[in-house]
Amino acid sequence: MPPPVQSQRSPSPSQPSGKSEVSDLKLQLRQLAGSRAPGVDDSKRELFKKVISYMTIGIDVSSLFGEMVMCSATSDVVLKKMCYLYVGNYAKVNPDLALLTINFLQRDCRDEDPMIRGLALRSLSSLCVANLVEYLVGPLGSGLKDGNAYVRMVAVIGVLKLYRFSSSTCIDAEFPSILKHLMISDSDTHVVANCLSALQEIWSAEASASDEALREREALISKPIIYYLLNRIKEFSEWAQCLVLELVTKYVPSDTSEVFDIMNLLEDRLQHANGAVVLATAKVFLQLTLSMSDVHHKVYERIKAPMLTLVSSGSPEQSYAVLSHLHLLVMRAPYIFFSDYKHFYCQYYEPSYVKRLKLEMLTAVANESNTYEIVTELCEYAANVDVPIARESIRAVGKIALQQYDVNAIVDRLLQFLEMEKDYVTAEALVLVKDLLRKYPQWSQDCIAVVGNISSKTVQEPKAKAALIWMLGEYSQEMQDAPYVLESLVENWEEEHSAEVRLHLLTAVMKCFFKRPPETQNALGAALAAVAERVVNPPKQAVSVFADTQSSEIKDRIFDEFNSLSVVYQKPSYMFTDREHRGQIEFSDELGNLSIGGEPSENVVSAQRVDENDKDLLLTTSEKEEASGLSNNGSAYASPYDNSSASAVGSQTRAESEISNPTATGYSSQSASLGIEDLLGLGSPAAAPAPPSPQLKLNAVAALDPSTFQQKWRQLPVALSQEYSVSPRGVAALTAPQALIRHMQSHSIHCIASGGQSPSFKFFFFAQKTESSSTYLVECIINTSSANAQTKIKADDQSTSEVFSTLFQSALSKFGNP
């Protein structure tokens, strides 16, 4: 017997087959580096291809860097390209190797061949190594003045790369000024387009910090520049034309004659073969005529034909892009496309995303004159093998029916759908028939005659079953078997998991009972038996808080307002004072009734009026509050809550509601809410035990003015968003925002704004580290009826957000404890 064949392990595709293969390549490259023999370039090509192939599959061939650079001393463009590809790959990750490339790249930037000069300059500007920036300025300056357009074009892009990597170097070298000069004077349109693109990015980035850059950016859309570019637009490439046309959309003509001049100049761009150019031109026309309604509508007519032509030509992806723009125009002005509905018919070879868009457009352009043809076409799609498209087509027929166009023919078509032996067709048709009967009840006799023949067992989709049940209840007098069909459905109550179907079934049985009581009594009893116990006798939890135990809080509030009318009325002041006497605070009903709040202490800061349009924070105060704050012993402002009768500050809506119902005080209403929820088995979960305080020290006298808080809140991202449970004691203690404000301040967490009314209170807190100025911002919304608190935390130092969140939760959990 022959010896068994031993298996041979194939080399890994990610490494050379032999250890010495890279070394062999290195030796061969070194031998060819200084050779002038005929055919040496061909040998170099083969070796370069091997090196590039190894590099492509992830093999480290950086050890060949020196030999590759030495072999690049050739006039062969192909070898140069492969060498630049190799150098660019390893120079980015190894700056030390990049230093070895500077000399030969700078040398190639001065080569006689403009192709090599351009390739070398492109490779040099792509290195993006910090310590090589100084070597890039000279070659870029020479490249911008080069006599060859290709080199100038590469140099312009190199300037943009330099700006992205080192903006100061680019600005100091005055490259933007050179680009501006090239843009308006260069004979090559590729160079002009690259200059325009680079200048737009550079000046847009610099505009926020430099007034000069802002003026230069605005100069790009001045009349001389716009007209210069438009007069040369036919010379530009398709990409450059789109760039110029996008710039023209930002230009504001001085009068209508200028608008027509620009449109006449661009008229032939609507006939361009490239879809992007046509759409860009259409955008210019639409933007220029927004203030000219008559001309704007004529623009719709003018751009319609070119866009419809693009839809029928090109790839499905291009058709979809153009069709999406047409869809937008159809939704804005459907009457313009009434006669073009056949362009939106679906073709069998089109992908589903194109068909779906066309169905929407057919629905939009339907009117009295074309409804019959459109509905006939849509009905053909109902038998489509693509089920989602078939469903969409049936829905489209229903939408057209609801637009009051030729309803007679459409109703007949929908009823034919009900007779088709396809479950999804029947399901969609049932939903549409239900909507149709709600709008056109006069068609009930014809529809019910067909619906009555449908077995409820064949309808499985929840929406369709709910529609059938609705019709059984609404037209139970016309449908003889309605009570018995409903009874059979009720018997399967436990097997039905759709809440929508259950709700419709309960309602339909009740309707049927009022119309045919004897026949529906059993079904109604079974339905009520299935739901009544869950409502009346749910699982209950122990009641932990009662209304009468909360009266002590009200008494404490009255005691705080000793020597005032509160003692006479036996009510806190917020329950009987009008708005102008509740405190020196400006309220905004629209923005949530937030107010500046805090205790009078050393850490209180100046109250400043904040923009009233800010929807996130309402930190507005009245001038009266600012004046009183400045007179508070030199501190910036005093707390709006003091020991006078006007210190109990609340929102107007809350006071008015509690005046109309004196027993519904903040404390008692809260308790009643909790008691009812307990009876329904919906009580709030037990509050979580207070977590241990983390190792984070907060500044007890932190200071932050409202405008700084507002600015930080806008800029900082949300670090944490959490929800806590509030203890029953905490809920009972929260009769007004001030109680929680005092409590949190004792934990070095200060309130800068508060507001709301029972059961929902909103607070904005801030805190600062003791050892640094790092600030934490908190939005806290407490709902006393559900006994939970929702918080959003933002922080300068997000790495400590979790620690601060634990500290905040610990402080909140102690609220209300004796």
Residue 512 sits at φ, ψ, to 5 deg, of -65, -35
CA-atom Rg of the chain in angstroms: 39
pLDDT digits (tens, 9 = 90+) for 592-635: 334 434 433 333 333 333 343 343 333 333 333 333 333 333 33
b/e per residue 81-108 (b: at least 16 CB within 10 A): bbbbbbbbebbeeeeebbebbbebbbeb
Q: Which of 107-111, 488-492, 673-677, 759-763 shows the lowest mean pLDDT across its residues?
A: 673-677
Contact (CB, 8 A) for 220 and 203: yes
A 10 A CB-CB count for 161 gives 19
Residue 154 CA to residue 142 CA, distance in Å, equals: 11
Mean pLDDT, residues 191-207 taken together: 93
Mean pLDDT, residues 94-101 taken together: 75
Between 187 and 69, the higher pLDDT residue: 187
The model's confidence at residue 739, banded by pLDDT at 50, 70 and 90, is confident
Contact (CB, 8 A) for 171 and 206: yes
Tell me, letter by letter, the H, E, C secondary structure of 267-324: HHHHHCCCHHHHHHHHHHHHHHCCCCHHHHHHHHHHHHHHHHHHHCCCCHHHHHHHHH
A 10 A CB-CB count for 799 gives 9
- Using the predicted structure, report yes or no on whether residue 343 has a pLDDT greater than 70: yes
pLDDT digits (tens, 9 = 90+) for 539-561: 766 655 555 544 556 666 666 66
Mean pLDDT, residues 753-767 taken together: 84
The model's confidence at residue 359, banded by pLDDT at 50, 70 and 90, is very high
DSSP codes of every residue in 18-66? STTHHHHHHHHHHHHHT---TTHHHHHHHHHHHHHHHHHTT---GGGHH
Contact (CB, 8 A) for 47 and 32: yes
Write down the pLDDT at residue 560.
65
Instruction: Please give the helix or strand (H or E) that residue 160 lies within, else none.
Output: helix 149-165
Strand 788-795 with 720-725, pairing: antiparallel
Mean pLDDT, residues 517-536 taken together: 83
Q: Which of 387-401, 460-474, 676-690 shows the lowest mean pLDDT across its residues?
A: 676-690
Write down the pLDDT at residue 543.
56
| Helices of type H across 734-782 | 737-745
The model's confidence at residue 25, banded by pLDDT at 50, 70 and 90, is confident
Contact (CB, 8 A) for 636 and 607: yes
As a whole number, the mean pLDDT across the chain is 78
- Percentage of the chain beyond pLDDT 70 is 79
Write down the pLDDT at residue 779.
92
Residue 215 CA to residue 270 CA, distance in Å, equals: 32
Strand 775-783 with 594-595, pairing: unpaired
Write down the pLDDT at residue 702.
86
- Using the predicted structure, report yes or no on whether residue 669 has a pLDDT greater than 60: no
Q: Crossing angle for the helix pair 293-311 and 275-288, nearest 10 degrees?
A: 170
Closest by Cα among 249, 252, 196 to 220: 196
Closest by Cα among 370, 361, 461 to 409: 370
Write down the pLDDT at residue 577.
72
Contact (CB, 8 A) for 397 and 414: yes
The strand pairing partners of 594, in sequence order, are: 755
- Using the predicted structure, report yes or no on whether residue 710 has a pLDDT greater than 60: yes
Write down the pLDDT at residue 573.
76
Q: Which of 283-292, 517-526, 550-559 shows the lowest mean pLDDT across its residues?
A: 550-559
Write down the pLDDT at residue 161.
92
Q: Of 25-39, 600-614, 644-658, 771-785, which has the strongest mean pLDDT?
A: 771-785
Between 86 and 773, the higher pLDDT residue: 86
- Using the predicted structure, report yes or no on whether residue 172 has a pLDDT greater than 60: yes
Residue 539 CA to residue 532 CA, distance in Å, equals: 13
Cα pseudo-dihedral 450, 456, 460, 465, rounded to 10: 70
